Copies of this chain bind each other. A is one copy, B any other.
């Protein structure tokens, strides 16, 4: 019998007998593997959170209580149990359900989640609102051990402890984040993991004390002494004001339920330390959890094959490794993205110059500043969306004294299926405001290689390269020596672009040429400082501009060219900016998103025809 099929409401889930739960969990796992192998998505984290999530849904009301999942990719089971099971075929597809919690998708998703380490902060805000408004619901956050490396999480935990609010934090500790957890916090957790539990004793002790307040008071002083002997200390969590309960087997649903009920009834900050196995229940994922963290479509019987195709990340990795071969000062730094940024080869070849620091984008940037200040040449490889966390450090610790730190900004522009929380929409905007920042935009693997060499060997001060997720297209030249390149000459229309948008622009130019429209294509190779001469010269002739760029409108090259044109007294006839607008781009395949945004070749042709058709402004 398929129990999962019979569950449609939270009440039905609660009415299951304890004996039915293991079978339910197995069925959830099977369905997870089946569905996610068909769509791609974050598999291993959700496999590791099955029992935790079932327990949460049996103890709490997911529609009334606020269950937060830090870095929401562990929330798939939560989604399945809150009315979205039938939609799992659409996971991360355009128009389908998101791979992360989203309040606009379900009332059971209390908050958006994508970037790590924020859930504890959000939880204490929610708990305080509850108290101030006199309302009655519970607040729970499920936080991975990787998220605990982030300083933001520490700030949040410190405040929860201080607040005294009834909040339950589940530390879902699988002993690794996306890469292996690193730093002192990992040591601290592993120490906690190996301590004997006394969990049941602690729960029983508390229960007795609750019913015998007199005894409680009398025992209080004695307890403080006894506690140290009898109750497991939670180390830092005790110090921060939590009641620590753990370690609990996070795959023993009954134990998790019991711990949760106990914690819920404490009406105080409680941390439940649940030990889990990432990828639990699917042998290939248990064996290689990193490989199954985020997967593309795969055959569950055969497992995931490491992707062979070279992409920008891989080319970055091989280039920085060969540059490090030549120059002993070159270091590579990553914040929990060794594999994602293509640094595995570097890590193997130069372990002493490779620094994987955990989910700590602020620290990583500041550490690079220290390395650079004392003569090393650090390259910080980081996704565009996560570098947002380092913004202040980029200004204060890197730009003001001109430290020669190279930022390898991966996943710039449209990222695709991870959706709004992960698109690389903003890097161009925020890097533009960092004093003295130089920004290159390679369009081909060859340009990535050359520009990285230039950034390390010829530039000084802060230098960034922004490059996309995925592979190069038809454009394979190397124009890295030009600030801007005229790829096509024409008199009717100027199209300005950078990065991989050049491929769609060239397709569009070909099509327009066939329609008798002569297009000047200007590819910007160095965005900061921006040299607008090629653009303005062309605009002097055409008077019409289309800009195509995978970046939000604010700070975009198109906007900068417009301002420069106005400052130069250059009158324009027609302008169209094709970009990521306010930067909020939903999930979907990149080619679909480009189509929807009108940034693919067809969209550019359409915009061009409109620009050519339109009358001059009055």
Interface membership of A241, Cβ < 8 A: yes
Q: Are A388 and B388 in contact (CB under 8 A)?
A: no
Interface membership of A49, Cβ < 8 A: no
Interface membership of A401, Cβ < 8 A: yes
Interface membership of A300, Cβ < 8 A: no
For the complex, give the distance between the alpha carbons of A68 and B255 in Å. Answer: 48
Q: Are B616 and A156 in contact (CB under 8 A)?
A: no
Q: Mark A237-265, 1 if CB is under 8 A from B, else 0.
A: 00111000000000000000000000000
Q: Mark A145-172, 1 if CB is under 8 A from B, else 0.
A: 0000111111111110110000000000
Interface membership of A307, Cβ < 8 A: no
- Besides A433-B583, A566-B572, 4 other CB < 8 A contacts? A125-B370, A155-B358, A162-B187, A554-B555
Q: Which residues of B contact A399 (CB under 8 A)?
A: 584
Among residues of B, the one whose C-beta sits closest to the C-beta of A394 is B388
Most chain B CB within a 10 A radius of its CB, from A149, A352, A371, A570: A371
Interface membership of A562, Cβ < 8 A: yes
Interface membership of A331, Cβ < 8 A: yes
Contact of A555 among B184, B391, B433, B584 (CB under 8 A): B433
Interface membership of A123, Cβ < 8 A: yes
Most chain B CB within a 10 A radius of its CB, from A115, A400, A559, A582: A400
Contact of A433 among B103, B436, B552 (CB under 8 A): B552
Question: How many of chain A's residues touch chain B, expressed as a range?
Answer: 35 or more
Q: Are B183 and A159 in contact (CB under 8 A)?
A: yes
* Interface window among A8-16, A202-210, A361-369, A471-479: A361-369
Q: Mark A427-467, 1 if CB is under 8 A from B, else 0.
A: 00110110110000000000000000000000000000000
> What is the CB-to-nearest-CB distance from A237 to chain B, in angstroms, rounded to a whole number?
9
> What is the CB-to-nearest-CB distance from A543 to chain B, in angstroms, rounded to a whole number?
9
Q: Which residues of B contact A110 (CB under 8 A)?
A: 373
Q: Are B433 and A363 in contact (CB under 8 A)?
A: no
Q: Are B125 and A373 in contact (CB under 8 A)?
A: yes
Q: Are B374 and A432 in contact (CB under 8 A)?
A: no
Can you sample 10 A-B contacts with CB below 8 Å? A115-B396, A118-B393, A133-B329, A150-B151, A156-B366, A159-B183, A362-B389, A389-B391, A562-B564, A569-B573
Q: Are A122 and B373 in contact (CB under 8 A)?
A: yes
Interface membership of A397, Cβ < 8 A: yes
Q: Are A617 and B569 in contact (CB under 8 A)?
A: yes
> What is the CB-to-nearest-CB distance from A611 to chain B, in angstroms, rounded to a whole number?
12
For the complex, give the distance between the alpha carbons of A536 and B481 in Å. Answer: 38
> What is the CB-to-nearest-CB distance from A328 to chain B, in angstroms, rounded to a whole number?
8
Interface membership of A222, Cβ < 8 A: no
Interface membership of A193, Cβ < 8 A: no
For the complex, give the distance between the alpha carbons of A426 and B430 in Å. Answer: 10
Q: Which residues of B contact A360 (CB under 8 A)?
A: 155, 158-159
Q: Contacts A151-B155, A154-B154 known; A575 to B571 CB distance under 8 Å?
A: no
> What is the CB-to-nearest-CB distance from A220 to chain B, in angstroms, rounded to a whole number?
18
Q: Which residues of B contact A235 (CB under 8 A)?
A: 236, 239
For the complex, give the distance between the alpha carbons of A368 and B126 in Å. Answer: 9
Q: Which residues of B contact A239 (CB under 8 A)?
A: 184, 187-188, 191, 235-236
Most chain B CB within a 10 A radius of its CB, from A115, A156, A376, A554: A554
Most chain B CB within a 10 A radius of its CB, from A182, A374, A400, A571: A374
Q: Are A432 and B112 in contact (CB under 8 A)?
A: no
Q: Contacts A155-B363, A563-B566, A566-B566 known; A421 to B396 CB distance under 8 Å?
A: yes
Among residues of B, the one whose C-beta sits closest to the C-beta of A102 is B401
For the complex, give the distance between the alpha carbons of A435 and B241 in Å. Answer: 36
Q: Which residues of B contact A129 (CB under 8 A)?
A: 370-371, 373-376
Q: Which residues of B contact A571 (CB under 8 A)?
A: 569-571
Contact of A112 among B362, B400, B570 (CB under 8 A): B400
Closest 9 CB pairs of A and B: A125-B370, A151-B151, A184-B240, A121-B366, A129-B374, A155-B363, A429-B433, A569-B617, A571-B571
